[in-house]
Amino acid sequence: MNEIYTFINSVLLGTTPIMWAALGCLFAHRAGIYQLGLEGLMLIGAFASIGGALAFGSAWAGIALAIAVCVLMSALFWLVVVILKANAIIAGLGLVGVGVGGTSFLQNVIFHTSGAVVAKATVPSPVPGTATGPAAILASLSLLVYLMPIAAIVVWLIARRSTFGLRVAATGQYPFAANAAGVKVQVVQLLALCIAGAMAAIGGSELSVGSLHAFSYDMTAGVGYVAFTAVLFGKEAPWGVVVASLVFGVATALGIFGEIHAVFGLPLEFLQMTPYVVTILALWFAGWRWPHAGNASAGAFAELQE
Amino acid sequence: MSGTVRVGMDVAGRPVARDIESTVLGCSDLRVEFGPVVALDDVSLRWVDRGKIHAVVGQNGAGKTTLCRVIAGMTRATQGTVEVEGVSYPAGDAQRVRRAGVELVHQTFALPPHFTVAEALQLFQPTQARGGLYSKRKIEQLWAGRLEEFGFHVLPTSWVRDLSPEQRQAVEITRALSSGSRIIVLDEPTAVLPPEAIAGLFDRLRELVMNGITFLVVMHKLRQVRAVADTVAVLAGGRVVLHPTSMAAITDEEIARLIMDVQSSGSVTSASAIAMGLGAGVDDPGQVHVDMAGVDALHKTEEADVPVPLGAAIPQASALPATVEGLGGDGHIDDIVHGTTTKRVEPSERRHFALQVEEVSTPSSEGRHGLQAFSVTVKVGETVGIAGVEGNGQQALVDTVVGLLPYRSGRILLSEVDVGNLRISARRRIGLRYIPADRQSRAVSLSNSLWVNAMAAQVSSGYGTSGAVRRGYLSERKLRRKGEDRLRQWQVRYSSRDQAMRELSGGNLQRVVLAREVDDNAGLIVAEQPTQGLDLGGTELVWAALRRAASSGAGILLVSSDLDELFALSDRIVVALDGEAIEELYPPYDREVLGRAMVAGVTSS
């Protein structure tokens, strides 16, 4: 029984950062901008939240700082991509570089270490803790895990049931129509990117102050790319992204499970590949099964559930 | 409706004198320049009647679309003002003009494809949502009601991408009317519609006019203007050549003459008349006898029982040249025109086939019919028209013949050679030529230069390059020269052969396509909507080119939704319905018989 609890625990731990980042990134994609810099943003968010938690003694202050920094970086990204017309993929990769290099540099300058930076202040859990059993696991999960369903519902409301959501979608699908409807396309894109930045910051914070209570070099290790993929796999529809994030969360947990239990005596490194192999398979499946990209295209989860 | 005069009020019994004085819509001294090109040259127009349909006509490039866009504030003017309900606004102020109650319905639709109809309408009317959030069911009910109110049958739950052109147009008009606008500007509303939907649109417009809505409509075809408009204004070369004039006070010949901007010396040619959809029967070139019975048949008014023989209306060659700007003058074009009458081959005398399609079937896809054991033959020197409501297999027919779509069963022979599933280049060497309907993406490469576009087919299939290609090596110098020769021959208006294709206008672009696709080695020319969106000059050129190609031995497969074009060019018309060839018609053609076969599948046999 304990193993099942542990597995569910690692599914939730694996899913949370992916889902927060992916739900935010959904807005950027729907507005027509591929935010590949998500990986960098999450890393910056993870670092800023630890830094803020250490500086102000509160995890919430850390998260607030992370959001502020990531929104600022997203605005910069918007300037480069939308106003200066740089290629979004290249600029995104640049943002990842800034994230990896910048956090590593600041880690050395501020904390004088290239090892882990540990913070005492953590995000509390809403469930009171006990020593053993499922309650212990629930108590070990941060509030950010419990907020996930609420975030999903809010994202769905904004993306699929609000005037702003319509404007974002029109901007991404057919800027000519958006323009004709009096929508300021560039402003909508800025807002969408900032939402993506803020939610990537929360996803990154969950990794550092949320679950590990520490920051280490390149600690996202591809989670941002996985979240980016989850948006594509979920066909830019809120519930599609939720399902895709869960799929990747389960894959991550399977990887961890395999590491611990040495399934079939397979090498450890092989099992660690699981999340990434699943990502590739998911992309292939999405491209093969639903060739028409773009939000709300045929066969997307959004159309299936509506 | 801040402070402006409501249109309905005038209908509700104000003094007539006031009606005459106040302008419902107008513009003064409008001047629009795009770089060195003057699109509108001091245009002043004034429409006074509310609840009427006002038409603006003119050739391509006459400035009609620009006028619409300036009036609606979508394009900035160099100078001038726009008047709405007697109030003047600086031209180009979209917000204020909109608030004054003017809405533009675009020629190309401004609806996001992956939205539902309700969502798309909601996007344009955000004030309908409380607190920025909406309920799916509520907006669907709201827009279902609105669509019904305006007489349109469109489900608010359907996806925009699945709508037919007329349904998209319905949604656009609903969008325009829902903002409370009483003046709607329609930019070429009939250009995007299949012919059978045009009468429906006109019925809607007339109903809306009864409710006091005023329409300003840009149109190409005189037949349609005559059918629906109350007044007509004519633009030519960015200038007003006819101020809004009651349709009762002017004849079609006069309008046609003004559109062509013919000076006192010239006369409107018969081909022009046909191109404009007049349905003219011609006995004597220069004397245009206009027969409006065709219009009546199309729009189901009283005298619909008179069949109109149109097949005889092939224009005399002597009537073709010189009246259209850019058509007269040197060499080649006159040759084309001349060849029309002097060397016309009687189709039945030849025994050889240019094309044989035998019981070909293809799978259907996305609401478009595949072919169901479709058979059609085109003899050498013959022009066979394919008529049908769009989506009844025409696309599949063209694609299989050209080689873009594999077929499941049956046989296709080009010049009596079984092409099987031969590659396109191999088919071209046999003599296949293709003038696609989708000019921008299928017919040319917009980013490449003119000479590349003019020579591409010859290079890839290795014919007609005369020494420019030798053992796989290209001589770019020779190709450029040869390309330029072709451009000159076809009188393409260009500044440099290295110019990018995207800089050319529609009619000019089609000339480049003709320069590539119409040559002496052509065995079969597949012409798909070859004159769609072209002005009279362009239409005449394409028709003359196709006629000459047929007379010098090519077979022509003409797929067109323009019935006048089919009647004018075809030796035979095959009607496609649900992917089958259901009927074959011979001249003299009867518009009504063809219409019944197309729509209802009613055949004469």
* Helices A59-78 + A38-56 axis angle, to 10: 140
Task: Report CB contact under 8 Å: A170, B112.
Answer: yes
pLDDT bucket at B604, cuts 50 / 70 / 90: low
Query: Which residue on chain B is closest to A293 by alpha carbon?
Result: B114
d(CA B27, CA B38): 17
Range B102-118 average pLDDT: 85
Q: Which of A162, A167, A177 sits opposite B111 (nearest CB)?
A: A177
Task: Report CB contact under 8 Å: B124, A163.
Answer: no
CA distance, residue A176 to nearest chain B CA (Å): 6
Least confident of A204-218, B85-99, B546-560: B85-99
Q: How deeply is A115 buried, as exposed, middle or buried, from its count of CB atoms within 10 A (0-12, 13-18, 19+)?
A: exposed
Task: Report CB contact under 8 Å: B110, A180.
Answer: yes
CATH fold, domain B7-101+180-250, is Rossmann fold (3.40.50)
Identify the pLDDT of residue B153. Answer: 86
Query: Which residue on chain A is closest to B176 by alpha carbon?
Result: A181
CATH fold, domain B332-443+510-600, is Rossmann fold (3.40.50)
Q: Where do runs of H (alpha helix) occur along chain A?
A: 2-30, 38-56, 59-78, 88-111, 133-140, 143-146, 148-161, 163-173, 175-180, 185-205, 223-233, 238-261, 268-272, 274-289, 301-305
Task: Report CB contact under 8 Å: B134, A170.
Answer: no
Identify the pLDDT of residue B293. Answer: 34
Identify the pLDDT of residue A18. Answer: 96
> Higher-confidence residue: B186 or B262?
B186
B132: which chain A residues are within 8 Å (Cβ-Cβ)?
A: 162-164
d(CA B597, CA B559): 16
Q: Which of A163, A170, A181 sits opposite B132 (nearest CB)?
A: A163
Question: Can you list the residues of chain A whose pLDDT is less than 50?
Answer: 292-306
Q: Which of A162, A183, A295 sits opposite B132 (nearest CB)?
A: A162
Identify the pLDDT of residue A282. Answer: 81
- Reported as a single tens digit per residue, the pLDDT across B197-248 is 788 889 989 999 998 899 999 987 778 888 899 999 998 888 899 999 999 9
pLDDT bucket at B600, cuts 50 / 70 / 90: low
CA distance, residue B599 to nearest chain A CA (Å): 30
Closest CA to B396 of B387, B384, B404, B386: B404
Q: Where are the domains of chain B?
A: 7-101+180-250, 332-443+510-600, 444-509
- Reported as a single tens digit per residue, the pLDDT across A168-216 is 999 998 888 888 888 889 999 999 999 999 999 999 999 999 888 899 9
pLDDT bucket at B347, cuts 50 / 70 / 90: very low
B120: which chain A residues are within 8 Å (Cβ-Cβ)?
A: 177
CA distance, residue A179 to nearest chain B CA (Å): 9
Q: Report all structural domains of chain A as residue ranges with CATH numbers, in order of start.
A: 2-300 (1.10.3470)
Range B565-587 average pLDDT: 91
> Higher-confidence residue: A273 or B587?
B587
ipTM of this complex prediction, to 2 decimal places: 0.82
Closest CA to B100 of B171, B189, B2: B2
Query: Which residue on chain B is closest to A173 by alpha carbon?
Result: B112
Query: Which residue on chain A is closest to B74 by alpha carbon?
Result: A180
d(CA B244, CA B214): 14
SS (H, E, C) B173-224: HHHHHHCCCCEEEECCCCCCCCHHHHHHHHHHHHHHHHCCCEEEEEECCHHH
> Higher-confidence residue: B13 or B57?
B57
Average pLDDT of the residues of chain B: 77
Which residues are CB-contacts of A138 (< 8 A; sequence separation ≥ 6)?
Answer: A125, A127
| Length of chain B counted residue by residue | 605
Cβ pairs A/B, distance under 8 A: 58
d(CA A241, CA A26): 8
Least confident of A228-237, B100-109, B223-232, B484-493: B100-109
b/e sequence B71-85, b meaning 16+ C-beta within 10 Å: bbbbbebeebbbbbb
Chain B residues with at least one Cβ partner in A under 8 Å: 106, 110-115, 119-120, 122-124, 126, 129, 132-136
Residues B439, B513: contact at Cβ < 8 Å?
yes
Closest CA to A119 of A170, A83, A66: A66
Q: Which of B110, B111, B112 sits opposite A169 (nearest CB)?
A: B112
